[in-house]
Amino acid sequence: MSHIVILVANRQAGPLTPADAARALGFCSGQHLNWLEPGQAAEFITKNAPDVAQLKLVLDHKATDVFLTKFRGRRKAVLLADMDSTITTTETLDELAAFAGVGDETAAITKRSMNGEIDFPAALRERVAMLRGLSLTALERTWSATQFSPGARVLVATMRHFGATTALVSGGFSFFTARVAAELGFDQQRANTLRDNGSELTGEVEEPILDASAKLATLGELAQKRGVRLSATLAVGDGANDLPMLQAAGLGVAYHAKPIVAARITNRIEHTDLTSLLFAQGYPANAFRGADA
- Concerning whether 84 is annotated as a catalytic residue, the answer is yes
Give 289: exposed, middle or buried? Use CB within 10 Å, 0-12, 13-18, 19+. middle
Q: Residue 33, Cα to own-chain centre: how many angstroms?
A: 27
Q: Report the distance separating Cα 104 and Cα 171, nearest Å.
A: 19
The beta strand positions in 181-229, using DSSP E, are: 188-192, 194-196, 201-205
- The DSSP bridge pattern shows strands 31-37 and 41-46 to be antiparallel
Helix (H, G, I), strand (E, B) or coil at 38: coil
Annotated catalytic residue within 20, 82, 94, 273: 82
Catalytic site includes residue 94 = no
Angle, helix 137-145 to helix 92-99, in steps of 10 degrees:
130
Pick the catalytic residue from 20, 51, 65, 84.
84
Question: Which residues are known catalytic residues?
Answer: 82, 84
